[in-house]
Chains A and B, each alone.
Chain A
């Protein structure tokens, strides 16, 4: 069984760096078909990379996404593979290839190019501070152990 955990976000934008922090931290534990990858690059490139690899049984995306929830809120869901309309997909491809890195873009573009397996999970955290700099805001810092456990548990099929 092969599982890929993708950390999405920008380093140096505080809570936005959470995804790559998670994959950096868990990477030494990669084994038995569990891989961790820094997805601080654009989704079209990711899609093309996936096409070259043996298929994954599960992909787990983790990152900070601002949706107006209470900072530090962890949201975990299984992706239902429903895409927006073609115009929005095209806009997201445009954003992607000009360097925008976001969890939503990554999932939409990868799905649009049919690169994802059926079993996809998303772990989001609501950021408290996405301004430039290093270190997490207090609410996100407090939830680090929990989100780490959530992601790690999803690597077990």
Chain B
């Protein structure tokens, strides 16, 4: 059964329709959110009187990324548990409003600015939405060029997360500060992957994760550079590419360009093997130290993944054939519920999405499932909810923060009314479960039904097969481990597409063209771009008429995962994962608490913004304002 909670049923041929005889089938009765501790004076007095062991801890980064994040918790330091969580996106981006009334092609360049890191995939997703609306498709070389752009983008993104964001949480400095007993044990523990990564002792590995000076940190920086060098050979610029257009890519590539990209991509063969071995060692070491580390950031393995990297001969840009071309992707689409594949249909993935605003600073636009809404079905006749992105209206309504009512600028996206997470790991997990019969033919990637095997040529390290297996438990360490394996997975896809590009160049003719000419339609059209970012799910839904956008909706990975509670009483993924996180940090007094386990849990999702050390504890502020002047200044001149 695809849906359990939405009012959709299927006939014997698999066609979806609304369950008959239900008035306002998508309407619901809201489940009130639990009363926050701070709103219950009696409970608060009782809890906060316990020797200061129960306290409010807020993690507040004040950054300006694709929705800046602040995180509110109430922790019980005596019982080492988190009692209450609330995830707040603190910034309204407004791109949906900025884009109204513009030429749809402007969205490619404007939406790219939604993020200073992954602008390339926003541009691509926007181009895909335009293609569907315009009724065009790129020539095969245009698709391959796009695949190369996005694979190099992810080869940039994954090392960033592992080396610069998550890695420091497991570095010598962090572990010594928060769990000195673990550091002592690391000094006497031999690694398993020394033959691959070269570290004999866990402590040596942790030392090199140290920010700014550690070899692994600096190596991660180097690999972000290498990938961007490859990207700009086609994209012109990064992170805001200049060549992504509807119908392909507006540049030419020759064998010399491909050689330059190849020279860089092959370097990720060894780096990917090494990084996988490092994160294997980190996970297994911490699990051995204390099996409760498996529970850091744990939640049900409910995931959504739109897939990416199109087959150049299968992708036709149409919604009608979306299921077929989606399943031919190197990373196929899928929805996982409790770790099991619920669907691999892009149309069902799309039809199951809703965005709720009960706890977000927006006005509800439907009248709770009012039967009069624009798109009752998708272009193939599958039912759509009034809360679906094609029906969504962005109506900002800022107001005071209330943990019980509204507290975030993020909506609460849900699939089949369940909170979903998404990331590089959902990509490889869906690929693993797709199975050998359904997974596309690739000489380098094999899906077994429970794992992904990656075979790549020898570089400096031997060409040993690397296998990522669906984990038995799900939490922060497994997210990081899976992301590490995705470096090699992505490198294999880049390598596969490079060979396709060489073949197309050699063959020449129409297939080797980079883009398709088109005329802008002036009639009413809709389109959707479904292409996951390095950090997970990304969709752009558009509606246009008279050559301009009437509605444009962007749904990002962080919107899914940083989401507030939904009207059914379910927390968002960050909220749920932190609530389940045991506090394993070594502290004697509440004042010593650093919150490392909470931060490891949040960071494992690869949020678009780091939760670094922006932390407020009761009245004690240990955060920093990003806008404070760090620049020394002499010869200051001020003009009022």
Q: Which residues of A contact B (CB under 8 A)?
A: 10-13, 40-42, 44-45, 48, 65-67, 69-70, 72-84, 86-102, 104-105, 107-108, 112, 122, 131-134, 143, 146
Contact = CB atoms under 8 A, between A and B. Distances in A.
A79 B64 CA distance: 24
A73 B608 CA distance: 32
B239 interface: yes
B212 A100 contact: no
B638 A74 contact: yes
Contacts of B239: 41-42, 45, 99
Interface string B605-640: 001111011100000000010111111111111111
A80 B634 contact: yes
Contacts of B632: 79-82
Nearest to A38: B240
Nearest to A88: B624
Given A45-B224, A80-B631, A90-B211, 8 more contacts: A44-B224, A67-B629, A72-B640, A75-B637, A79-B633, A93-B211, A98-B165, A122-B633
Contacts of A134: 98
Contacts of B637: 74-77
Contact of B117 (A84, A99, A133): A99
B492 interface: no
Given A10-B64, A12-B113, A133-B94, A99 B613 contact: no
Interface of B: 61, 63-66, 92-95, 97-98, 110, 113, 115-119, 160, 164-165, 168, 211-212, 221, 224-225, 228, 238-240, 607-610, 612-614, 624, 626-640
Contact of B626 (A10, A45, A69, A100): A100
A58 B142 CA distance: 40
A84 B636 contact: no
A104 B631 contact: yes
Contact of B212 (A66, A72, A89, A146): A89
B216 to A, nearest CB: 14
Nearest to B99: A12
Contacts of B115: 99
Nearest to A89: B212
A10 B92 CA distance: 13
A44 B627 contact: no
A104 B630 CA distance: 6
A44 B629 CA distance: 19
A113 B359 CA distance: 42
Contact of B97 (A66, A112, A132): A132
Contact of B221 (A44, A75, A79, A84): A44
Identify whether the interface residues of B are mostly helix, strand, loop, or mixed: loop
A42 B364 CA distance: 35
A72 B638 CA distance: 10
A38 B632 CA distance: 23
B624 A41 contact: no
A79 B638 contact: no
A112 B217 CA distance: 14
A48 B212 CA distance: 15
Contacts of A84: 630
A51 B403 CA distance: 47
Contact of B224 (A12, A13, A97): A97
A89 B93 CA distance: 26
Contacts of B628: 67, 104
Contacts of B94: 12, 131-133
- 3 pairs of A and B residues whose beta carbons are closest in the complex: A132-B94, A80-B632, A82-B632
A93 B164 contact: yes
A91 B212 contact: no
B414 to A, nearest CB: 25
Nearest to B221: A44
A92 B118 CA distance: 18
Contact of B610 (A11, A40, A94): A94
Contact of B64 (A41, A97, A102): A102
A74 B639 contact: yes
Given A40-B113, A86-B212, A77 B636 contact: yes
A74 B165 CA distance: 35
Nearest to A101: B116
Interface centre among B66, B94, B116, B211 (most CB of A within 10 A): B116
Contacts of B640: 69-70, 72-73
Interface centre among A83, A94, A96, A122 (most CB of B within 10 A): A94
18 contacts: A12-B95, A76-B635, A78-B633, A80-B631, A81-B632, A87-B613, A89-B212, A92-B626, A94-B612, A95-B63, A95-B609, A97-B224, A99-B65, A99-B609, A100-B609, A104-B631, A105-B626, A133-B94
Contacts of A122: 631, 633
B636 A42 contact: no
Nearest to B94: A132
Nearest to A12: B98
A41 B238 contact: yes
A80 B633 contact: yes
Nearest to A105: B626
Given A74-B638, A89-B212, A95 B118 contact: no
Contacts of A69: 638, 640
Given A45-B228, A90-B212, A100 B65 contact: yes
A140 to B, nearest CB: 13
Nearest to A130: B64
A62 to B, nearest CB: 13
Contacts of A143: 639
A41 B240 contact: yes
B164 A79 contact: no
A73 B315 CA distance: 53
Nearest to B224: A44
Contact of A86 (B61, B164, B211): B211
Contacts of A89: 212
A151 B63 CA distance: 27
A142 B210 CA distance: 47
Contacts of B228: 45, 48
Given A45-B238, A75-B638, A93-B212, A10 B164 contact: no
B259 to A, nearest CB: 19
Contact of A98 (B98, B221, B610, B636): B610
A95 B113 CA distance: 16
A88 B631 CA distance: 13
B607 A98 contact: yes
Given A12-B113, A41-B239, A93-B212, A75 B164 contact: no
Contacts of A79: 631-633
Interface centre among A93, A105, A107 (most CB of B within 10 A): A93
B133 to A, nearest CB: 22
